[in-house]
Amino acid sequence: MNIETNPPSQVYKTLPPDYQAIYSLDLKQNVRIAMILNMVVLFMFFVWGYFFIQISLILRSTAWLGGQTFLAETDLIDVLIVFVFMVILHEGVHGLFFWLFTGERPKFGFKLLYAYAAAPDRYIPRTKYTWIGLSPLVLISIVCIAIIPWLPSHLLPSLILLLTVNAAGSMGDAFIILVTLSLPKDVLVQDLGDEFIIYGKSS
């Protein structure tokens, strides 16, 4: 009997016969978890906002004369533009990593409270899915923080808002990653956009 001791490294087009579903989360059906995640996102908005403001104070203290805050310098139109741009950028990064790991164009969608990129016909190993899930938080944060010292001062509030919204919006991704990390290393993840199914080896 062939027993695989190492976690799978390839993305599967067909679920291996020795795998079965061991966890699923459907945000359309599980309203309670969806509401909890939204509350976490709202709370983390203020946490991340404070964090990125402190980073900007270290990198650009002269841009914050008079103790101004980024909210005081950002009007509603700016907020809407930043939010729309962030959603496109965030899901675009997800989509890029889906494409890198699966070799096929991902599926994009938009629901009332969230947008998503997905690869519904692929079964993705945990390590690769971790990269996919955390890529917007890591890459967008690194790039935006890196340009803070050279960004024109009047654009700094919008950049911090983008950083904050992106990081807070990544908490749903982080939740799924935490779930996968609590399971055996050889799990496979099927991302349907608004539903996640995790498969593990049969006993």
User: What is the Cβ-side half-sphere exposure of residue 43, based on CA atoms within 13 angstroms?
Assistant: 8
Looking at residue 137, the DSSP 8-state letter turns out to be I
**202 or 149, greater pLDDT:** 149
Q: What is the pLDDT of residues 46-66, one digit of tens each?
A: 999 999 999 998 998 765 544
Q: What is the pLDDT of residues 172-188, one digit of tens each?
A: 899 999 999 999 999 99
Comparing CA positions, the residue from 184, 134, 172, 200 lying closest to residue 36 is 172
- Return the domain boundaries, the chain: 19-60+69-201
Other residues' Cβ atoms within 10 Å of the Cβ of residue 32: 8
Q: What is the pLDDT of residues 122-164, one digit of tens each?
A: 999 999 999 999 999 999 999 999 999 998 888 888 899 999 9
The reported pTM is 0.85
Question: How much is the pLDDT for 100?
Answer: 94
CA 146 to chain centre: 20
